[in-house]
């Protein structure tokens, strides 16, 4: 798997709109910022794929608080834009 870098987009399905961006990377986890929810620490074991500056997570390995934040990540956006 290619290395993860700060600024990469983060999604739960390949091709899906990103819900956040990588803020920090350590050996065991990444920190992801989700708009209107803040920073979340995600274990590397939840990373399913990395390609084209995009991290894809395994939703089944994420805790319920993070899954809820992902579900609300785009609520404040204007759908006409």
pLDDT band at 73 (very low <50, low <70, confident <90, very high): confident
User: Could you report the per-residue pLDDT of 11-59, keeping only the tens digit for each?
Assistant: 998 667 899 999 999 999 999 999 889 999 999 999 999 999 999 999 9
d(CA 11, CA 37): 15
Across the range 68-81, mean pLDDT stands at 69
Supply the pTM of this predicted model.
0.85
Residue 46, classed as helix, strand or coil, is helix
Residue 62, classed as helix, strand or coil, is coil
d(CA 37, CA 50): 23
Q: How many other C-beta atoms lie within 10 A of the C-beta of residue 71?
A: 11
Q: What are phi and psi of 18, to 5 degrees?
A: -65, 145
| Token pair of 36 as six digits | 């209107």
């Amino acid at each position: 798997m290619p290395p993860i870098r700060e600024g990469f987009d983060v999604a739960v399905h390949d091709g899906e709109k990103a819900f956040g961006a990588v803020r920090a990377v350590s050996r065991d986890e990444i920190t992801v910022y989700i708009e209107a929810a803040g920073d979340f620490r995600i274990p590397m074991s939840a990373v399913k794929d990395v390609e084209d500056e995009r991290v894809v997570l395994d939703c089944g390995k994420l805790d319920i608080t993070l899954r809820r934040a992902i579900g609300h990540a785009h609520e404040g956006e204007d759908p006409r834009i």
